[in-house]
């Protein structure tokens, strides 16, 4: 797909971050875009930033991607509002963090995170696959993560729900390559694996999980963070709860504002990968380095010394000191 001019694209999570930038860049290139998000205000801001020229249609749709009913409604709205029986591009991009520990943390948060990050991709493909197949040329782009090949953000932090979901996305998309080649050879599939990207995922996650942000963390959540910090040798035993809440909020802000790769640059890398028909799209120098390190020493990937090798390479500093991806 050398050009996106006149193509119809669907983007989940289009209200912020990489999703917003994908929408803006597609619109700039003349694609018609249908985006969904859980925030109407964020999508309105995306549409304003995209500034579609005359003749380019951009529609916004409220949708929780972890709900198959809502995803099917989103599809039906796209068919109606874009007056189409096909789409060309499907970006299953929406994601949140959370559900770090499986052993001793809240099950609802774990399943909510897994639901958005995995079922959002699965339901997106289920809902829109027939429309992709109905096109002359189509491409599905599923966002996994470096946590889709390395289930960790360090040896002292649990990271199970997000990693499990991103591994599922990676494996599913790789399997789709053969499935599509056999049954719909005009449709391509790519898996996107970002490293640390400057987005608001750390800020948005708590809102999706029903909280107002790190400043609204419960006493139980603060205790978990305090234990994690103490385990890293940080003297926080006597730090007031509100100070820890403020520290976590600032980490989320820094994760967005001090990332090595901006959301705009990430979107450019992804769209270039689609043009080049690459099925595997690593986003960011840190993703490339981490991929290489895991391949070189897979048996060591979850040992404490492995993180030291990553940090010595000059990458993942912001993640270990503070946040996650997308």
- Cβ neighbour number for residue 158 with a 10 Å cutoff: 17
The answer on pLDDT for 226 being more than 80 is no
Residue 8 β-bridge partners = 32
Q: Whole-angstrom Cα distance, residue 4 to residue 31?
A: 5
Closest CA to 326 of 270, 248, 274: 270
Write down the domain spans for the chain: 8-199+259-321
φ, ψ of residue 274 in degrees (nearest 5): -65, -45
Query: What pLDDT is recorded for position 314?
Result: 77
Return the structure tokens found at 249.
């909020």
φ, ψ of residue 58 in degrees (nearest 5): -130, 125
Query: What pLDDT is recorded for position 321?
Result: 42
Q: Whole-angstrom Cα distance, residue 148 to residue 169?
A: 7
Least confident of 91-105, 204-218, 288-302: 204-218
Q: Note whether 274 and 89 are within 8 A (CB).
A: yes
**324 confidence band (pLDDT: 50, 70, 90):** very low
> Which CATH number, 3.30.360.10, 3.40.630.10, 3.40.50.720, 3.40.50.300, labels domain 8-199+259-321?
3.40.50.720
Q: Whole-angstrom Cα distance, residue 225 to residue 219?
A: 10
Q: Percent of the chain having pLDDT more than 70?
A: 82
Return the structure tokens found at 137.
């040329």
Helices (H) and strands (E) in the chain, counts: 13, 9
Instruction: Give the containing element (helix H, strand E) for 142.
Output: strand 138-143
The answer on pLDDT for 276 being more than 90 is yes
Query: What pLDDT is recorded for position 326?
Result: 42
Q: Whole-angstrom Cα distance, residue 249 to residue 247?
A: 5
């Amino acid at each position: 797909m050398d050009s996106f001019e006149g193509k119809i694209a669907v983007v989940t999570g289009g209200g912020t971050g990489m999703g917003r930038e994908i929408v803006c860049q597609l619109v700039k290139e003349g694609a018609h875009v249908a985006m969904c998000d859980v925030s109407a205000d964020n999508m309105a801001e995306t549409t304003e930033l995209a500034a579609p020229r005359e003749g380019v249609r951009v529609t916004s749709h409220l949708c929780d991607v972890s709900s198959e009913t809502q995803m099917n409604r989103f599809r039906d709205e796209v068919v109606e509002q874009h007056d189409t029986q096909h789409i060309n591009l499907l970006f299953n991009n929406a994601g949140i963090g959370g559900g770090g520990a499986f052993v001793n943390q809240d099950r609802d948060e774990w399943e909510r995170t897994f639901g958005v990050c995995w079922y959002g991709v699965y339901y997106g493909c289920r809902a829109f696959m027939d429309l992709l197949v109905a096109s002359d040329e189509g491409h599905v782009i599923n966002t996994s993560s470096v946590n889709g090949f390395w289930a960790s953000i360090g040896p002292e932090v649990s990271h199970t729900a997000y990693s499990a979901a991103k591994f599922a996305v990676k494996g599913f998309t790789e399997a789709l390559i053969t499935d599509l080649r056999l049954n719909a050879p005009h449709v391509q599939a790519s898996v996107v694996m970002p490293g640390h990207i400057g987005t608001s995922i750390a800020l948005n996650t708590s809102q999706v999980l029903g909280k107002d942000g790190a400043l609204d963390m419960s006493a139980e959540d603060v205790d978990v963070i305090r234990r994690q910090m103490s385990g890293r040798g940080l003297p926080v035993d006597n730090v007031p709860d509100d100070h820890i809440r403020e520290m976590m909020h600032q980490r989320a802000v820094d994760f967005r504002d001090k990332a090595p790769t901006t959301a705009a640059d990430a979107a450019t890398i992804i769209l270039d990968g689609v043009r080049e028909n690459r099925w595997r799209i690593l986003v960011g120098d840190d993703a490339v380095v981490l991929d290489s390190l895991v391949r070189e020493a897979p048996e060591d990937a979850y040992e404490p010394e492995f993180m030291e090798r990553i940090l010595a390479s000059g990458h993942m500093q912001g993640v270990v000191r503070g946040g996650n991806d997308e």
